[in-house]
Amino acid sequence: MDTLDKDTAAALFKQYRKNRDGIRNKPEMASICLICGSIHVIPKSGDAHMLICRNCGFAFYRYECRVCGETIDGRDPQNPGCRECGWRICTCGVCGCDKKRCAFLPEK
pTM of the prediction?
Answer: 0.83
pLDDT in tens, 89-101: 999 988 877 665 5
Residue 95: what pLDDT? 82
Taken in order 46, 24, 94, 81, is the CA torsion positive or negative? positive
